[in-house]
Amino acid sequence: MGSIDSSFFDIGHLDALSSKQTPMHRVDPRAKVLTTICFIVVVISFNKYDPAGLAPMVIYPMAIMTIGNIPFSFIMKKLLIASPFVLSVAVFNPILDRSPAMDLGLFSVSGGFVSFVSIMAKYVLTVSAGLALIACTGFDSICSAAAEMGVPRVFTIQLLFLYRYIFVLGEEAVRMTRARALRSFGDKGLGMGVYGSMIGQLLLRTMDRAQRIHLAMLCRGFDGEIHHSRSSKIRLSDVLFFAGWSGLFVMLRLYNFPAWLGKELGRLI
């Protein structure tokens, strides 16, 4: 059961990171969310046969993690957990697309392989930027930033509750799997069938709890809207943060920096 326990508590770790005090944490959440969206859009827009052009983009997640004092190893671990899904999408590219795309003297690299590398690079960049954003902002601040920027309340409230109760639901699931494991004596218990009813149980318990939470909200005058108290002003530094980074992203997209660097270096030599 160790694996479920530990991956569950890791979410809490992500949350704990967001309460640090660094210059990166102090940037307005709205500015960070917009910048990260801009980053993701630019990264995705790169041509799939141009993984080299993506390389300089790594500067943004790196900067967030360094200035925000977020451990690289933590983000890397999270990336590894999700990587099988992306791998299974990208892995067929080298097989299906065999046209040579690059000539490296002795070898020629197929287009499929190049696009494979570029998909993986895009995955690493976008997801690490997203995780770093949550780690240095806090999920609740991201939700309220989204709400302030006009995302419908229905979505932001759903997200907020999802995040709040994933801990409670996780604990409940951990307790159930533990109870099952302790009485199955290292065997398979009653096999897969028992998981079906456990998931059903979990759903019923969740619905019960949802009802109680709704009741608790009604008791305190809930009328379909959560009123946020924090409504901070955007400062000049926040605008500069957004403008500076997105300007850089666009520049890196329009001008192939690595190619230029290679050419210049070649001329120097």
Partner 1 sequence: MSHHIVEVKELKFSYPDGTPALNGVNFRITHGESVALVGANGAGKSTLLLHLNGYLTPQAGSVRIGDMPITKSTLKHIRQIVGMVFQDPDDQLFLPRVYEDVAFGPMNLGLPPDEVDQRVMSALALVGAVHLKDRPPYRLSGGEKRAVSIATVLSMSPSILVMDEPTSNLDPKSRRQLIHLLSEFDHTKIIATHDMDMVLDLCSRAIVLRDGEVVADGAARDILDNRDLLDASGLEKPLRLQGCPICGNSGKNQQL
For partner 1, the binding residues (CB under 8 A) are 12, 15, 19, 138-140, 160-161, 163-165, 167-168, 209, 212-213, 215-223, 226-229
48 or 205, CB closer to partner 1? 205
Neighbours of 267 (CB within 10 A): 7
The DSSP code for 58 is G
CB of 7 to partner 1, least distance (A): 16
Q: Give me the amino acid identity at 195.
A: Y
Q: Which of these, 67, 200, 193, lies nearest to 135 by C-alpha position? A: 67
199 or 216, CB closer to partner 1? 216
11 or 120, CB closer to partner 1? 11
164 or 235, CB closer to partner 1? 164
CB of 153 to partner 1, least distance (A): 14
HEC string for 103-130 = EECCEEEEHHHHHHHHHHHHHHHHHHHH
CB of 213 to partner 1, least distance (A): 5
Q: How far is CA 136 from CA 73, 83, 111, 118, 218, in A?
A: 15, 22, 37, 27, 33
CB of 163 to partner 1, least distance (A): 7
User: How buried is residue 198: exposed, middle or buried, by Cβ count under 10 Å (0-12/13-18/19+)?
Assistant: middle
CB of 139 to partner 1, least distance (A): 7
Q: Give me the amino acid identity at 129.
A: A
CB of 250 to partner 1, least distance (A): 34
59 or 217, CB closer to partner 1? 217
The DSSP code for 101 is E
Q: Which of these, 212, 249, 198, 237, lies nearest to 42 by C-alpha position? A: 249
Could you give phi then psi for residue 223, rounded to 5 degrees? -130, 30
227 or 267, CB closer to partner 1? 227
CB of 154 to partner 1, least distance (A): 16
72 or 222, CB closer to partner 1? 222
